[in-house]
A = this chain, B = another copy of it.
Amino acid sequence: MILPLAFLAGSGVDQLALQMLLVFGAAKLLAELAERVRMPGIVGGLLSGILLGPSLLNLIQYNDLLHALAELGVMFLLFQVGLEVKVSELLRVGKTALLVAVSGVLVPFVMGYAIYIGAKHPQAEALFMGAAMVATSVGITAQVLSSKGLLEHRTAKIILGAAIIDDVLGLLVLAVVSSMGEGKGIDYTGLLTTTVVSIGFVVAIAKYGTDAARIVVPKLAERMRVPESEYAIAVTFLFGMALLASVSGVAAIVGAFLAGMALAEIASKRLHTLVHGAGELMVPFFLASIGLQLDIHAFASGSSLAMGIAILIAAVNSKALGCGAAAWRLGWKDAARIGIGMVPRGEVGMVIAQIGISRGAIGQEAYGVAVFMAVMTTVVAPPLLNLVYKDIAKPAADVPPDEAPLHLG
C-alpha cells in the first residue's frame, strides 16, 4: 500500500482530497468492519487513526488541518448531542452529576500520582500524570449513547452533566498542577477568578440560554431572507458559544454543547438533519485524530510498556469505581453505566500531556504513557458501554428514518 501512495505525493495531486479520502474512507471502512464483529463502529474510527498513523502504516502525519477538522468534528458532535438534551432534564440530575464529577476527579488523580511517585518518578511528572487521568472525553460516550438512542436515559444526562463539571474541575487541577510543577506558589486570586468566570458562563447559558433562544431565534429565522436561515443562525451561535466558552476558561466543546442545548426545544427536523450532515463528515476526523497521535514505538522498552499498562488499568478502574461509587444510590446497573461512561480520556487527556511536555514538566516516556492511556481508555470504553447498556438499547429499526438517533460512528 505504501508504493502507490508514494506516487501520489506528486505535484498534480490534490493533497486535500488525498487526506480526506484516506482518513474518511479508512474510518468508515474500519467502522463497518467493527460493526461486523459486533464492536461499536466508533472503535473502528479510533483504530483507523492508529492504522494510518506512525504506530502502523505511517501513511499520514497528524497536522494542523486534521487537527482543525477534528476540533470541528467534536464541536459538531457535542452540538448535536446538546440538541437532543433539554436543560431542565440536565439540571434535575445536577447534584448526582456533581458528586460523580468530584469523585471522578479525586480517585483518578490520587491513583495516577501514587503510581508515579511509587515508581520513583519526579513529583512534577506524577502531578501531570494525575491531571491527565482526571480528563473526561465526553464525545466518545455521547456518540455511543446517541447511536443507541439512549440520550434520553437518566445515566446519559448524568454523564453529560458530570463531564461539563469535570471540565471546570480539570481546568483547576491543571492550574494547580502547573504552578506546583514549576515550584511556584499557587495563584489563589487567579484560580478564584477562573472558577467564578467559568462556572458563571456555564450556569448563565444553561439557565437563560433556552429562554433567550426561544424568544430570539424563531423570529430572526423567519425575518431573514438568506435561505436556510435557521441553520445559519444555529452555526453562528455554535461558534459564538464555543468562542465565549474558551474565553471564559472552559473547553470550546462545552460551549458547543450548551449552544445545542439552548436550541434543543426549538430546533426543526431539518436543522437536525443539516447539522447531522456536517457532523457525519467531520466526526471521523475527530475519531481518527486520537489514534493518529499515538506512536506505539514509544514503547520500545519493556518497562515503559509495563508502566503504560499499569496506568491504563488504573485509569479505567479509577474512573469506573470513583464515578460509579458516587452514583451508587441509583442501583449498581446505572452506577456501572455511569462509571464506564466516564472512562474515555481521549483528546482531553492528550492536551494535558502536551502541556506537560511543552513545559518540560514530563519527559518523553511519561508523555508516551499518558497518550497511550488517553487513546486506550477511549478504545476500550465503547465495547464496555455496549455491554452495560445491552439490556436497554433500542433496536435501531424501531426508529423512523427522519427521527433516527445521531449515528456518527
Give chain A's interface residues, CB within 8 Å of chain B.
8, 10, 12-14, 16-18, 20-21, 24-25, 28, 31-32, 35-36, 41, 64-65, 68, 71-72, 75, 147, 224-228, 231-232, 235-236, 239-240, 242-243, 245-247, 249, 252, 255, 270, 273-278, 280-281, 396, 401-402, 404, 407-409
A35 / chain B contacts, CB cutoff of 8 Å: 225-226
Number of copies: 2
A224 / chain B contacts, CB cutoff of 8 Å: 32
Asked, given contacts A28-B226, A227-B407, A231-B280, whether A21 binds B236 with beta carbons under 8 Å apart, the answer is yes
Which A-B residue pairs are the 5 nearest by beta carbons? A277-B277, A227-B407, A274-B277, A14-B246, A21-B239
CB < 8 Å: which of B20, B32, B225, B239 contacts A72?
B20
Q: Are the C-beta atoms of A24 and B236 separated by less than 8 Å?
A: yes
CB < 8 Å: which of B14, B25, B36, B228 contacts A225?
B36
Determine how close the nearest CB of chain B comes to the CB of A260; give it in whole angstroms: 14
Q: Are the C-beta atoms of B228 and A407 separated by less than 8 Å?
A: yes
Cα–Cα, bound, A245→B36 (Å): 33
Determine how close the nearest CB of chain B comes to the CB of A190; give it in whole angstroms: 12
A228 / chain B contacts, CB cutoff of 8 Å: 276, 280, 407
CB-nearest residue of chain B to A22: B239
Q: Are the C-beta atoms of B274 and A239 separated by less than 8 Å?
A: no
Cα–Cα, bound, A228→B228 (Å): 22
Determine how close the nearest CB of chain B comes to the CB of A149; give it in whole angstroms: 11
Cα–Cα, bound, A323→B397 (Å): 53
A280 / chain B contacts, CB cutoff of 8 Å: 228, 231-232, 235, 274, 278
Q: Are the C-beta atoms of B24 and A227 separated by less than 8 Å?
A: no
A408 / chain B contacts, CB cutoff of 8 Å: 227
Asked, given contacts A20-B239, A246-B14, whether A226 binds B31 with beta carbons under 8 Å apart, the answer is yes
CB < 8 Å: which of B17, B239, B409 contacts A242?
B17
Cα–Cα, bound, A331→B281 (Å): 43
Cα–Cα, bound, A224→B33 (Å): 9
Q: Are the C-beta atoms of A68 and B281 separated by less than 8 Å?
A: no
Determine how close the nearest CB of chain B comes to the CB of A232; give it in whole angstroms: 4
Determine how close the nearest CB of chain B comes to the CB of A245; give it in whole angstroms: 8
Determine how close the nearest CB of chain B comes to the CB of A121; give it in whole angstroms: 28
Q: Are the C-beta atoms of B64 and A243 separated by less than 8 Å?
A: no
Q: Are the C-beta atoms of B24 and A239 separated by less than 8 Å?
A: yes
Cα–Cα, bound, A72→B19 (Å): 12
Determine how close the nearest CB of chain B comes to the CB of A9; give it in whole angstroms: 11
A10 / chain B contacts, CB cutoff of 8 Å: 247
Cα–Cα, bound, A162→B176 (Å): 64
Asked, given contacts A13-B243, A16-B252, A20-B72, whether A409 binds B226 with beta carbons under 8 Å apart, the answer is yes
A31 / chain B contacts, CB cutoff of 8 Å: 226
From A31, A270, A277, name the one whose CB has the most chain B CB atoms within 10 angstroms: A277
A243 / chain B contacts, CB cutoff of 8 Å: 8, 13-14, 17-18, 21
CB < 8 Å: which of B17, B65, B255, B276 contacts A277?
B276
Q: List 28 A-B contacts (CB under 8 A).
A: A8-B243, A8-B247, A10-B247, A12-B247, A13-B247, A16-B72, A16-B252, A17-B243, A17-B255, A20-B239, A20-B242, A21-B240, A24-B236, A24-B239, A28-B226, A28-B236, A35-B225, A41-B225, A64-B64, A65-B65, A65-B68, A226-B407, A227-B396, A228-B280, A270-B273, A274-B276, A277-B278, A278-B281
Cα–Cα, bound, A35→B225 (Å): 6
Q: Are the C-beta atoms of B68 and A16 separated by less than 8 Å?
A: yes
Cα–Cα, bound, A28→B24 (Å): 28
